[in-house]
Amino acid sequence: MFRIVSAVAFALSPVLSPTIAQDSAPSLTAKQAETVDGLIDAGLEDDIAWELLESLTTEIGPRLGGSEAEARAREWGVARLKSLGFRNVRIETFEMPYWSRISDSAEIVSPFSQPLTVTALGQSIATPPEGVSGEIARFETLPELVAAPLEGFEGKIIFVDEMMARTQDGSGYGVAVAKRTLAGAEAGKRGAVAALIRSAGTSGNRFAHTGKGVRGLGESAVPIAALANADADQVARALERADEPVVIRLKISVETRSATMSGNVIGEIPGKTDEIILVGGHLDSWDLGTGAVDDGVGVAITAAAAKLVGDLPGRPQRTIRVIMWGAEEVGLLGANAYAEKYADDLENHAVASESDFGAGRVYRFDTRFGEENLPKGAVMAGALRRLSIAPGHNQAFGGPDVTPLRARGVPVVSLSQSGWDYFDLHHTADDTIDKIDPEAVRQNVAAWAAFIYMASEMEGDFR
Amino acid sequence: MFRIVSAVAFALSPVLSPTIAQDSAPSLTAKQAETVDGLIDAGLEDDIAWELLESLTTEIGPRLGGSEAEARAREWGVARLKSLGFRNVRIETFEMPYWSRISDSAEIVSPFSQPLTVTALGQSIATPPEGVSGEIARFETLPELVAAPLEGFEGKIIFVDEMMARTQDGSGYGVAVAKRTLAGAEAGKRGAVAALIRSAGTSGNRFAHTGKGVRGLGESAVPIAALANADADQVARALERADEPVVIRLKISVETRSATMSGNVIGEIPGKTDEIILVGGHLDSWDLGTGAVDDGVGVAITAAAAKLVGDLPGRPQRTIRVIMWGAEEVGLLGANAYAEKYADDLENHAVASESDFGAGRVYRFDTRFGEENLPKGAVMAGALRRLSIAPGHNQAFGGPDVTPLRARGVPVVSLSQSGWDYFDLHHTADDTIDKIDPEAVRQNVAAWAAFIYMASEMEGDFR
pLDDT of residue A371 exceeding 70, the answer is: yes
- pLDDT category of residue A287 using cuts at 50, 70 and 90: very high
The minimal CB distance from B241 to the residues A58, A111, A238 is found for A58
Mean pLDDT across B382-406: 98
- State chain A's mean pLDDT as an integer: 95
Best A51, A63, A207, A430 member to test B by mutation, with max B CBs in 10 Å, is A430
pLDDT of residue B68 exceeding 80, the answer is: yes
Instruction: Give the chain B residue nearest A57 (alpha carbons).
Output: B234
Q: Residue B139's pLDDT is what?
A: 98
* Residue positions counted in chain B: 463
**pLDDT tens-digit readout, A216-230:** 889 999 999 999 999
- The more confident residue out of A137 and B7 is A137
- pLDDT category of residue A204 using cuts at 50, 70 and 90: very high
Do B434 and A230 make contact, defined as CB atoms within 8 angstroms?
A: yes
pLDDT of residue A129 exceeding 50, the answer is: yes
Instruction: Give the chain B residue nearest A61 (alpha carbons).
Output: B114
Mean pLDDT across A445-449: 98
Distance CA B336, CA A418 (A): 54
The Cα-based distances of B186 to B153, B189, B222 in angstroms read 11, 5, 9
Q: Residue A317's pLDDT is what?
A: 98
Do B434 and A204 make contact, defined as CB atoms within 8 angstroms?
A: yes
pLDDT of residue A23 exceeding 90, the answer is: no
Best B50, B55, B114 member to test A by mutation, with max A CBs in 10 Å, is B114
Q: Residue A16's pLDDT is what?
A: 52
The minimal CB distance from B237 to the residues A58, A111, A229 is found for A58
Instruction: Give the chain A residue nearest B431 (alpha carbons).
Output: A206
pLDDT of residue A14 exceeding 90, the answer is: no
The Cα-based distances of A193 to A36, A149, A199, B76, B182 in angstroms read 58, 16, 19, 32, 48
Q: Which residues of A touch B234 (CB under 8 A)?
A: 58, 61, 290, 432
| In chain B, where the domains are located | 10-97+259-457, 112-245
The minimal CB distance from B58 to the residues A238, A290, A428 is found for A238
Contact indicator for A237, A262 with CB cutoff of 8 Å: no
Contacts of A428 (CB under 8 A, 6+ apart): A201, A203, A207, A208, A209, A210, A288, A289, B206
Do A112 and B241 make contact, defined as CB atoms within 8 angstroms?
A: no
Q: Does B113 touch chain A (CB under 8 A)?
A: yes
pLDDT of residue A24 exceeding 70, the answer is: no
Contact indicator for A295, A436 with CB cutoff of 8 Å: no
Q: Residue B5's pLDDT is what?
A: 41
Instruction: Give the chain B residue nearest A111 (alpha carbons).
Output: B59
Contact indicator for A355, A415 with CB cutoff of 8 Å: yes
- The more confident residue out of A432 and A13 is A432
Position A403: which residue type?
T
**pLDDT tens-digit readout, B184-204:** 999 999 999 999 999 999 999
pLDDT of residue B14 exceeding 60, the answer is: no
Q: Does A104 touch chain B (CB under 8 A)?
A: no
**pLDDT tens-digit readout, B369-381:** 999 999 999 999 9
pLDDT > 70 fraction of chain B, expressed in percent and rounded: 95
- pLDDT category of residue A1 using cuts at 50, 70 and 90: low
Do A69 and B205 make contact, defined as CB atoms within 8 angstroms?
A: no
Q: Does B258 touch chain A (CB under 8 A)?
A: no
Q: Residue A94's pLDDT is what?
A: 98
User: Three-state SS across B296-316?
Assistant: HHHHHHHHHHHHHHHCCCCCC
Q: Rounded to 5 degrees, what are φ and ψ at A257? A: -140, 145
Shortest distance between the Cα of A239 and any Cα of chain B, in A, equals: 10
Instruction: Give the chain B residue nearest A241 (alpha carbons).
Output: B59
Q: Which residues of A touch B55 (CB under 8 A)?
A: 241
Mean pLDDT across A306-331: 98
The minimal CB distance from A241 to the residues B59, B205, B290 is found for B59
pLDDT of residue B459 exceeding 50, the answer is: yes
Do B112 and A61 make contact, defined as CB atoms within 8 angstroms?
A: yes
**pLDDT tens-digit readout, B424-434:** 999 999 999 99
Instruction: Give the chain B residue nearest A432 (alpha carbons).
Output: B230
The Cα-based distances of A145 to A215, B99, B142 in angstroms read 17, 43, 55
Q: Which of B234, B254, B258 is nearest to B246 (CA)?
A: B234
Distance CA B335, CA B283 (A): 12
Distance CA B370, CA B368 (A): 7
- pLDDT category of residue B20 using cuts at 50, 70 and 90: very low
- pLDDT category of residue B25 using cuts at 50, 70 and 90: low
The minimal CB distance from A205 to the residues B60, B114, B430 is found for B430
CA trace torsion B295, B52, A140, A137 (10° rounding): -90
Distance CA B234, CA B228 (A): 10
Shortest distance between the Cα of B309 and any Cα of chain A, in A, equals: 28
Instruction: Give the chain B residue nearest A425 (alpha carbons).
Output: B205
Helix axes B30-43, B297-310, angle to 10 degrees: 140
Q: Does A51 touch chain B (CB under 8 A)?
A: no
Distance CA B262, CA B77 (A): 13
Q: Residue B1's pLDDT is what?
A: 59
Q: Residue B11's pLDDT is what?
A: 39
| A112-245 topology per CATH | Glucose Oxidase; domain 1 (3.50.30)
Do B230 and A206 make contact, defined as CB atoms within 8 angstroms?
A: no
pLDDT of residue B12 exceeding 90, the answer is: no
| A10-97+259-457 topology per CATH | Aminopeptidase (3.40.630)
Q: Residue B130's pLDDT is what?
A: 98
The minimal CB distance from A237 to the residues B58, B113, B429 is found for B58
**pLDDT tens-digit readout, B207-250:** 999 999 999 889 999 999 999 999 999 999 999 999 999 999 99
Position B44: which residue type?
L
Q: Residue B6's pLDDT is what?
A: 39
Q: Residue A123's pLDDT is what?
A: 97
Q: Model's pTM, two decimal places?
A: 0.94
Do A114 and B206 make contact, defined as CB atoms within 8 angstroms?
A: no
Shortest distance between the Cα of B376 and any Cα of chain A, in A, equals: 43
- pLDDT category of residue A25 using cuts at 50, 70 and 90: low
